[in-house]
Amino acid sequence: MVDLRLEDGNGLDVVSALHQKRADARAVVLTGYGNIATAVTAVKLGAMDYLSKPADADDVINALLATGEDKPEPPENPMSADRVRWEHIQRVYELCDRNVSETARRLNMHRRTLQRILAKRAPR
C-alpha cells in the first residue's frame, strides 16, 4: 500500500521500483488526488488497484486480498460526484489555511462561488 504523494517523492516511482525488483509483488496506490491519468499510469507500472481517499476499510481489504486476475468488486455505495467535489474543495481549503481567496485561486474558481459552496452543507 503506497500513497501517491510522498514527502520525498512519488508513489508511482515506488510502484515501478517494486515491480522491477519483484514482478509478483502486489501494490495498491491510495491517494487523495485521484485522477484517471495517474490511475492508468499506476496500473501500467504494476499496481493491482488504485483507491481514492477517503477509502472505506472494506475497499482497502478487498484490494489487498484480490487474487490473481481477480479485480475487487466496485464499492457498494460510492460517494456521489457532488460529494467528491465537496471533499476536494474542503481539502484544498484546509491546505490553504482556510484562506478563501487563495483556495479560489488554486481551484481556478471565483471567490464568491467558493464562498457559496463553503456555506452549504456537505452533499451525500
Q: In whole angstroms, how far apart are CA 94 and each of 18, 21, 68?
A: 33, 38, 39
For the segment 14-43, the average pLDDT, to the nearest whole number, is 82
pLDDT (tens digit per residue) in 46-55: 888 888 777 7
| Residue among 5, 74, 12 at smallest CA distance from 43 | 12
pLDDT (tens digit per residue) in 72-120: 566 677 777 888 888 888 888 888 988 999 999 999 999 999 999 989 8
For residue 6, the cross-strand partners are 9
How many other C-beta atoms lie within 10 A of the C-beta of residue 47?
25
- CB-CB contact of 27 with 19 (8 Å): yes
DSSP string, 82-120: HHHHHHHHHHHHHHTTT-HHHHHHHHT--HHHHHHHHHS
For the whole prediction, is pTM greater than 0.85? no
Which domains does the chain carry?
2-65 (3.40.50.2300), 81-119 (1.10.10.60)
Question: How far is the C-alpha of 99 from the C-alpha of 122, rounded, in Å?
Answer: 19
